[in-house]
Every structure is written in structure tokens, then in C-alpha cells.
Amino acid sequence: MSKDNIMNTYGRFDVTFEKGIGSKIYDINGKEYIDFVSGVATNCLGHSHPAIIKAITEQSSKLMHISNYYWNTEHSKLAEILIKNSDHSKVFFCNSGTEAVEGALKVARKHGKLSGNLNKNILLYMDNSFHGRTFGALSVTGQPKYQNDFRPLISGVKEVKFNDIEDLKKNFDENVCGIIIEPIQGEGGINPADVKFLETARVLCDKFDALLIFDEIQCGMGRLGSLFAYKKFGVIPDVISIAKALGGGFPIGAFITNEKASKALVPGDHGSTFGGNPLGSAVGTAVLTELTDGGVIASIDEKSAYLKEKLNSLKDKYGVINEVKGMGLLIGISLKTSPKEFMNACFKNGLLVVTAGADVVRLLPPLNVTIPELDEALKLLEDVFKEITA
């Protein structure tokens, strides 16, 4: 089986996977791994979950795709669940997180245009942030290593120091149309936003009639222990970008708006050929039903506390960990050793983890992971700590 026809855009491990069940995944040689990458926080119900298989099987036999010139039953169902569980009023469906960010940025720009102030087009973003790799999302990503080879990017953007209230105030004025923030920076190193910083952003947006956008693509959809991440911080944004876990592994994204923000876009302003298709929407509904009614989200806080306690014990025992950080089941281990080498050692031992930022390894287990499965992963982690401190 040739791999030469696939474009060289990822630093892939030398492994080919072919099946997975729950938190376990198996390569073509039958080797078992514990998957604590979960498609980078996407496979929130693990692999081959019965509810997802059922939704795909049943819906694919009825209707997979129609044009958005028409309504379909499934996107209406999914929208109703999202709005019922949020403080917002409208949903736009797309296919990925980057698309959800692009849509949110367009809402903010159009909102600025409608204000009557022709200069109200500035988008603020955070240093060390990550929002995607399309030109718009890349332009508000605060990491030059992703941007440099693709300049010039879009204009009308300004970087703000994350969690620096004074820098936020200094850059905010009547020409700002929107600000985009990850409640927890994922790719940047599992860095939570300070509540005071988010509260200040909310006050400034209200003062200057700008839109507060939360990028919850990695930290939302249950991962922090609430369906939406913003509920853990007590600050309500105007727009939320979601994706990843929304489909449990099936491609779907969305941005959600409150009443004020929803008025910005009118027919012709935005679109998505596959956005809100019946198949993706049916899967999203199945996933959210498991997360909410199925009790998955209700179990997150207990699992998070257990995992953090065990990791802090490893910190005390081996002296290789700087800090255990994050919320819910979005956990970062800041290391005194190379995170890439640590990740590779975990891989050899049969545990999949992924790096973030300069010194962090992320643990992103399925949200329905069991305590015994956490113990299995912790044992493999301890084996790696033993190896690197021997």
C-alpha cells in the first residue's frame, strides 16, 4: 500500500491504524494503543460508539445531502439542542473548526459595517493562540511559525497579550468590531483564560459595540465538564465557534450567535455546500444526546479530579513535571524534558498523546473514558517517567 500519493503536510508517526473500539485503537499489525489524542479532542465518545454507528446507518439509508435551498429535519433538531443548551439564538452549520472561525470573523466584520463607522473593522486576537490554517483564521492566530510563509495575511487585525488586561484596554477602541479568544488555549499549551480578563473583554465589547467571539473548537462540547466552555467561566460571548467533538469524529462545525450578532448576516452573505447536511446533523444530534442525556458530561468533573490527583502524584514522585494544568479532560503536563521525546516514548509504550506549546504534552481522552482506562494510561505514563529518570 503506497503512501507516496499523499501530500507531505503532516509529521506522521510510522503507524497505520485500521480499527478502534472505545478508547483503544489497533494498527494493521494488531498492536493495541490507548488513544488519549482522540483525534485531537474530536472522538469524544471514543471509537465505533454504537450511537454514532446507528445514526450513520439509519440516516444514510434515508437522506445524506440536499442543498441549503431547502430545510431538512436533522439540522433543525441539532440546532434546537444547541440553542436549548446555550444563551444564544441562531446557528450556522459548516464542516470544520476553521470554517466556524471564518464565519465568526465575517459576522464581526459585517456587524462593524452595519454600525455606520466605516473604520469599525479591527479584529483583536491573542498572542500564542491558534484558530486554524485558512487565511482568515491564520491572520488571527498568534503564532508566527504558522503565519510567516503565507504573508501577507488579511489586514485589520491586532494582537493582544493573552490575560493582560492593560494591553487589552490599550488596544480596544470604537474601531474594534470583534475579539476572538480561546477560553483555554489548546495548541498554545493548555493555557486557561483568567476570568477577570474575559470579564474585561465582555465589558469593553459592550462599551464599544464589538462582538466577543469564543473559539471553543477544542475546549467545548463537554470537554471541560459543561457542554459549552463559556459556562465554566461565567462570561457569555456573542459568538461561539464549535466543531471537533460536535460530530464525535464525523466532520461538522458550527458557529452560534446571540440575537444581536445573528442580525449581521443575510441571504448571500455566507454559505456552505455541505453545512448542515442531514447525515452530519443526525450524527451531531446522536453525539450531543449521549453527552447530555446519556450522562457523559456529568461524569467529567469526577474523572478530571481523579486524573489530576494521580498526575500530581507522579509529579511529586519523579520530578519531571513542572505543572499539571487544564480543566475537565483537557489536561496539559508541562515537562522539564522534551515533550516530543516524551510523546514518542509514550507511543512506543502503546499510549497516544500529543504535544502543545513549548513544553506541554496533552491528554485528551474520550469523554466517556472509564476510571480503569485512566489507570491503564497512568501506568503507561509512569513507565515512561521511569525510563527517562533511570
Taking residue 154's Cβ as centre, other Cβ atoms within 10 Å add up to 14
Question: Is the same domain home to 193 and 97?
Answer: yes
Question: Is the same domain home to 260 and 149?
Answer: yes
Q: What is the pLDDT of residue 39?
A: 97
Strand duo 176-181 + 122-126: pairing: parallel
Helix axes 73-84, 278-292, angle to 10 degrees: 30
Domain range for 104 = 51-292
Enumerate the H helices of the chain as residue ranges. 38-41, 50-60, 73-84, 97-114, 135-139, 144-147, 165-171, 195-208, 259-262, 278-292, 300-318, 339-349, 371-389
Question: Is the same domain home to 268 and 315?
Answer: no
Q: Residue 130 annotated as binding? A: yes
Q: Residue 134 annotated as binding? A: no
Question: Is the same domain home to 305 and 228?
Answer: no
Question: Is the same domain home to 33 and 67?
Answer: no
In a domain, 369, yes or no: yes
Question: Is the same domain home to 30 and 143?
Answer: no
Alpha-carbon distance of 77 to 370, in angstroms, equals 29
The answer to whether 369 and 329 are in contact (CB under 8 A) is yes
Nearest to 181 by CA among 166, 201, 164, 165: 201
In a domain, 9, yes or no: no
In a domain, 133, yes or no: yes
Q: Residue 99 annotated as binding? A: no
The answer to whether 328 and 223 are in contact (CB under 8 A) is yes
The answer to whether 213 and 88 are in contact (CB under 8 A) is no
In a domain, 63, yes or no: yes
Q: What is the pLDDT of residue 114?
A: 97
In a domain, 176, yes or no: yes
Nearest to 277 by CA among 81, 132, 69, 53: 69
CATH code (residue 183): 3.40.640.10
Q: Residue 362 annotated as binding? A: no
> Per-residue confidence of the chain (390 residues) as pLDDT tens digits?
668 899 999 999 999 999 999 999 999 999 999 999 999 999 999 999 999 999 999 999 999 999 999 999 999 999 999 999 999 999 999 999 999 999 999 999 999 999 999 999 999 999 999 999 999 999 999 999 999 999 999 999 999 999 999 999 999 999 999 999 999 999 999 999 999 999 999 999 999 999 999 999 999 999 999 999 999 999 999 999 999 999 999 999 999 999 999 999 999 999 999 999 999 999 999 999 999 999 999 999 999 999 999 999 999 999 999 999 999 999 999 999 999 999 999 999 999 999 999 999 999 999 999 999 999 999 999 999 999 987
Question: Is the same domain home to 223 and 110?
Answer: yes
Q: Residue 25 annotated as binding? A: no
Q: What is the pLDDT of residue 3?
A: 80
pTM over 0.85: yes
Q: Residue 89 annotated as binding? A: no
CATH code (residue 31): 3.90.1150.10
The answer to whether 385 and 377 are in contact (CB under 8 A) is no
Q: Residue 98 annotated as binding? A: yes
Q: What is the pLDDT of residue 1?
A: 65
Alpha-carbon distance of 216 to 228, in angstroms, equals 7
Domain boundary among 227, 259, 292: 292
Question: Is the same domain home to 240 and 253?
Answer: yes
Q: Residue 272 annotated as binding? A: yes
For the four alpha carbons of 235, 239, 245 and 246, in that order, the dihedral sign comes to: positive
In a domain, 357, yes or no: yes
Cα–Cα distances (Å) from 39 to 158, 248, 290, 353, in that order, read: 31, 9, 18, 10
Q: Residue 216 annotated as binding? A: yes
Domain boundary among 234, 258, 292: 292
Spell out the residues 6+ positions from residue 354 whose beta carbon is closer than 8 angstroms to its own.
37, 40, 343, 361, 362, 364
Q: Residue 127 annotated as binding? A: no
